[in-house]
Amino acid sequence: MPWQAPSDDERELYEAKTRGDWAAYFDVLARTDLFVANSRARADAHPGTTAFHPYWDHRTRSQCLAVFTAGMLPAPAEAVVHLANDLDWYARTWRQDDPPWLVVNPGSPCEAYFPTAPEHRAVWSRHAARAAGSGRPRGRIRTLYVGAP
């Protein structure tokens, strides 16, 4: 049975990845929120800020930062919150000592790994600039086709 994406965003990411159309993949990322996990305690203590908590990835043999689209968010956990930022925010915020890889929707069929060097982040910013104003309005309810992982 083929994979049932939880929403249009993940379906479009999967289709772009399957075609090897990375420009289309970035176009989807540029118009959706990308969520990163933070501890609830940290988020409460430092509202309006986001901390990166990388993990060691055996495929890249390096630190990676996992981000999730809304349809792929993990099940809620009491001590964890997922903070939303857009692709351009990641491109502008990334520092030299941050992880060398960004992983979108790890462990899913629409998963993708992207290097985070300045020239790669410039590509993210270009896609974000083209997508400005075309994203889904914040605060609106979105329907998932199926439950995520």
Q: How confident is the model at residue 134 (pLDDT cuts 50, 70, 90)?
A: low
Q: How big is the CA angle at 93 (ends 126 and 131), to the nearest 5 degrees?
A: 30
**Which pLDDT does position 141 carry in this prediction?**
53
What is the Cα–Cα distance from 1 to 70, expressed in whole angstroms? Answer: 23
Residue 136: what are its φ and ψ, rounded to 5°? -80, 135
* Whole-structure pTM value: 0.90
Q: What does the block give as tokens for 147?
A: 């439950």
The per-residue pLDDT of the chain, averaged, comes to 91
